Each structure stands twice: as C-alpha cells, then as structure tokens.
Structure 1
Amino acid sequence: MFSARSLFQEIVDNDDSYRLFCSIAASGEAQGGWENGRIAALMPASMRELAPKVTRHGADEDKHGRIFHALMRKRGLTPADVPEETDYTALLERQGIGLAHDKLRRDEPLTELDIVTYLAHSRVTEQRAADQMVMLTKHFGHHPEVGKAIKVISHDEDNHLAYCHEELLRLARLGHGRAIQRILHDCAHAEIVVYRDVSLAVMDHMGRLLKWPTAKSAALTAGIRTMYGYERLGGWRRMVSLRMPERRNPLDGPATSEPEFA
C-alpha cells in the first residue's frame, strides 16, 4: 500500500517527476510574487500602510520560486514547461477568484474592496499551502536534499496565513465583515474544485512519467475525489474561519534571504 510519504519519495527519486514537481511549484510561486508586487504598487491611498507587508509577501513568494529553481540546478535539471491543466493560480483566476491579471497590469489604483478580495483569496490559498507544507515537513523535513527548503517555505507559509487572519480581522472591525465572509465563501468553494482538478492533472502526469500501473493511478484518483467530497461536505470551512493568530505582525520587515538555495 502507498502513502503520501512513499508517493513523494517516488517523485523526488526520479529526475523527470522531480523536475516537473519543482517546475510547477516554482511557476506558482513566481506568479504569486508578481501579483503581490503589483498589488503593493497599486495600493489605494487609504490602505498604504499595508503596502510593505504585501511587498514582503511577494518577496517571500519570489524567494520560494528561486528555491525550487535552485533545487533543480543542484541535480543539473532545467525547468520543464508547466502543463496548463496544472496551473493552480491561472485556473483560479479563470474562475474569477482573486484579482484579475488584466486589472493588475493597469496603472490604476486598486479599491479597498480589491484589497479585501486579495486578502480573502490569500486566506484561502495560503491555508492550502500551509497544510501541504505541514504534511511535507512531517515526512521530509529531515530529507538531505529537500528538507531544509521545505522547512524554510513552511515557516513562510505559516507567516502568510497568520498575516491574512490578522489583516482580515482588522478590516472586519472597520466595517468590511460582510464582504470578507462573502468573498471567503466564494473563494473556498471555487478553490476546492480547482485543487481537485489540478491534483488529478498532476497525478496523471506523474503517473505517466513514473509508469504507474493502472490500479495505482485509479486508487490515487479515487483518493483525490474522496478528499474533494470531504471538503465539499464541510472541510472547506477551515478555509473561511478567522481567528487572531499567535504570530502577530508576521510580515513586518524584509524577506529573509536563503543564499544556500538561491
């Protein structure tokens, strides 16, 4: 029987699957870095105090992208083309979740509702990222090749999630509570569908690269669909709750550099 640990080990041990995994991850982090950079630049005057934190968020995402590229370089691998159906960020945007890239490319200030939308979208997607990194840290935090990178990224994702909780609660106190809850619910319901579809696509590509038998691929597909069923029935609620985090003001200051990776 296979487990999350054995599956990821199999992906890490094969150059082709490892290259695809790192390429997908690097692409998503780079997109996140660009989005946060543009949001910081277009911040409305009434929320300018948030700009340094959004800038820091983007710098962390850029750092993560460099880390994944560095992990590939250590093996002498070059980035692979990212299949369209595995592009989590782009697929969310197509569902109308978050701020459209067309809007971010304009040199027009964003509105307060845009910033609420950005933070609510981030609250949902950072929950997913933090959950994934907790799982990877549990199984691979001491792995000689990827362990340190995983722990660095996991720490940052926890900070990003704490920042989203803190800022959304602050904005709720300023009168944005209803908009926050509406956007959180819309984002969560769309995200679980996109995550299911991306997971299925990634597993399909990994299965072909690793030559998984049909029975193994079918079992993994069933597991992904079962997880989606759980999230659809109520698991999504963990993505929309708000509570004051233990880590206060976690994005105060510049991003830390990781020269050993990037």
Structure 2
Amino acid sequence: MLSAKGVFEEILDNDESFRLFCSIAASGEAQGGWENGRIAALVPASERALAPKITRHGADEDKHGRIFGALLKKRGLTPVEVPHETDYTMLLERHGIGLAHDKLKGDEPLTVQDVLTYLAHSRVTEQRASEQMRLLLKYFADHPDIGRAVRMISNDEDNHLAYCHEELLRFASAGHGHAIQRTLRECAHTEIRVYRDVSLAVMDHMGRILRWPPTKRKVLAAGIHAVYAFERLGGWRRMVSLRLPERRDALGGSAPAPEFA
C-alpha cells in the first residue's frame, strides 16, 4: 500500500532522486533568500523597522539552501539543474504572485502596497512550506542523515509563518484589511494550481528515476489531483486566515540558529 512515508523513503534512499530533491529545494530556498534580501534593501522609509526582519527571513532561506547543499555533499553528490517545470518559485513569479524580479533588481523604493503584496505572498507560501516540513518532521525527525536538518528548517518555517501573520495583522489594524484579504485570496488560488502542477512534474521525474510502474504513477497523480480538488473547494481558506500567532516577534527577538546538516 502506498504511503507518504514510503514514497519519501524511496526518494531519500536513491542517490539520483535524492540529488534532484535536494537540488529543487536548494534552488527554491536560494531564490527566496535573494528576494527577501532585495525587499529588505528597497523597503520604504515608513516601514524601515521591518527591514531587519525581512533580512532575517532571507538569511534563513539562504541557510536552508546551504543545508540542502551540505546534505548532497555529505553523500558525495553534486546538484543537478532544476527542471523548469519543477521550479515552484519561478513559476509563481511567472503567474504574477509576489513582487516582479524586474522591480526587485531596480533601485526604486517599494511602496506600502508592495510590502503588503510581499507579506501576503509569504503568508501563503510559508503555509505550504510549514506543512511540508511538518510532514517530513513527522516521519524523519530522528533520521540519521536528514533529521537534524528537518528539525531546524521546520522550526524556521514556523517562525516565518508566525511573522507573516503578525505583520499582516498589524497592517490590517492600520486600515489595509480589505487589500490584504484580496491579495491573499489571489495568491492562494494561484498557489494551489502551481503547487499541483509542480507536484505532478516532480513525481513524474521521480517516477522515471525510480522506475515506478504506470499503476503507481497513476495512483500518485490521482492523489495530487485529489489534494488540489480539496484545496480548490475550500482548503485554500487555511492560507488566507489571519490569527495572532503563539510565537510573537518570531524574527526579531533572537539571532538565527546556527546551521548544520
């Protein structure tokens, strides 16, 4: 019987599938690090107090990218080129989610609306990241090779999600509530489609590497489509709700944890 744990174990146990998994993860984290670094540099004067938290967010993402690189190196593997159809962050940008890279490469300060767009995009994508890492944490927290990395990254993603909730609630209380909800809904509806497409592409590549039989591939694809159907019918709402987090000032009160893999 297929299980999420069994599929992950197959991917982790094979060098080529592990190589692709870590390469995709490292690329996405590095992209997130760059984006946050540029946003911190361009944040408007009225929101300069946010800059250190955005910088911390980017530093965590860069750290995660290095961790995935270290996991590859530990097994004597090198990164592979990430297939474009599996590049989650790039595809989100192409679909208009978040701030355009052309804007981030310039020198013009961002607007408050740009900051809201960044925070709404992050709230949606960090929800996904937090859930994915909690799933890995459930199965591999004590894994001899990846357990420490999974625990650290999962904790960081929970911090990022808490930070997004707190800052968006602050902006909502300042009168931006309608704009925030509109942007969150747009981001969530696009993200669930991109996540479905990327998941199908990743499973297709993994299936070829691991030589999964057609029946297994069809079952996994059906599962991905079922998740999308659930999210389209209402599961997306978990990505747009806002609540005061238990972790307060999650990116402002302490230094980043030292990295290890």
Over the matched positions of the two proteins, sequence identity in percent amounts to 72
Q: Residue 199 of structure 1 aligns with which residue? A: 199
State the TM-score, normalized to the length of structure 2.
Answer: 0.99
Distance in 1 of aligned mates of 2:67 and 2:204: 25
Matched, 1:111 2:111: yes
Structure 1 residue 4 displacement after superposition:
0.5
Partner of 1:64: 64
Match of 2:257 in 1: 256
Task: Return 5+ residue gaps in structure 2 as ranges.
Answer: none
What CA distance in whole angstroms lies between the structure 2 residues aligned with 1:162 and 1:213? 41
Q: Which amino acid aligns with 2:98?
A: G
Separation in 2, partners of 1:171, 1:49: 13
1:188-228 per-position Cα deviation (integer Å, ceiling 9, x unaligned): 00000000000000000000000000000000000000110
Q: Which runs of 4+ in 1 moved over 4 A?
A: none
* Paired position in structure 2 for 1:223: 223
- 2: distance between equivalents of 1:70 and 1:139? 21
Give the TM-score normalised by the residue count of structure 1.
0.98
Report Cα offsets for 1:205-260 as digits up to 9, x if no partner.
Answer: 000000000000000000000110000000000000000000000001432221x3
Query: Which residues in structure 2 correspond to 1:12-51 (within 5 Å)?
Result: 12-51=12-51
The residue aligned with 2:233 is 233
- Partners of 1:81 and 1:2 in 2: CA distance: 29
Corresponding residue for residue 162 of structure 1? 162
- 2:148 corresponding residue in structure 1: 148
Could you tell me which runs of 5 or more consecutive residues in structure 1 were left unpaired when the two chains were aligned. none
Aligned length: 260
Alpha-carbon separation, structure 2, partners of 1:117 and 1:149: 30
Please tell me the residue identity of whatever aligns with 1:117: T
User: For each residue in 1:78-103, what CA deviation from the matched residue of structure 2 results, as whole angstroms up to 9, or x when unmatched?
Assistant: 00000000000010011101001010
Measured in 1, the distance between the counterparts of 2:238 and 2:184 equals 11
- What is the CA–CA distance in structure 2 between the aligned matches of 1:223 and 1:256, rounded to whole Å? 36
**C-alpha separation in 2, matches of 1:171 and 1:78:** 43
Match of 2:188 in 1: 188
